[in-house]
């Protein structure tokens, strides 16, 4: 059995500039916790292979997916299809989970 805890997982900075703590990473999927300070944003990007789900735990932010923007908050789950350009801007301290299938890969992150 593999059980990981946020207290023991080391943070790292992703290619889009956000700092995350990855709880699990297999060939099929990954689960990470992310935080953004007010006004902080991820760099607009897309993933060719990975589908993502952002699940917000605390705070609010403006999520843009392929030119469509929505204010999202606690309890919201946003689906980001493979190939969809996206970024999130924190309106307040933002805490969320990011689920990727297939797993997050630095090499699968592309910018304009």
Residue 33: the pLDDT is: 97
In whole angstroms, give the CA distance from residue 30 to residue 28. 7
pLDDT in tens, 58-86: 999 999 999 999 999 999 999 999 999 99
Q: Which CATH architecture has domain 25-111?
A: Sandwich (2.60)
Chain centroid offset of residue 27 CA: 18
pTM, full prediction: 0.93
pLDDT in tens, 35-56: 999 999 999 999 999 999 999 9
Provide the residue ranges of all domains of the chain, joining segments of one domain with +.
25-111
**Antiparallel, parallel or unpaired: β 110-111 and 12-13:** unpaired
Mean pLDDT within 8-36: 92
Mean pLDDT within 107-111: 93
């Amino acid at each position: 059995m593999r059980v990981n805890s946020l207290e023991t997982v080391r943070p790292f900075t992703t290619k889009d500039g956000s700092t995350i703590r990855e709880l699990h990473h297999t060939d099929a999927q990954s689960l990470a916790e992310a935080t953004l300070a007010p006004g902080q944003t991820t760099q607009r990007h897309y993933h060719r292979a990975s589908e993502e789900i952002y699940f917000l735990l605390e705070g609010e932010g403006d999520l843009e997916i392929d030119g469509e923007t929505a204010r999202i908050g606690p309890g919201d789950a946003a689906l980001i299809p493979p190939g969809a350009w996206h970024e999130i801007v924190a309106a307040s301290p933002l805490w969320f989970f990011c689920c990727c299938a297939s797993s997050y890969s630095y090499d699968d992150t592309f910018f304009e």
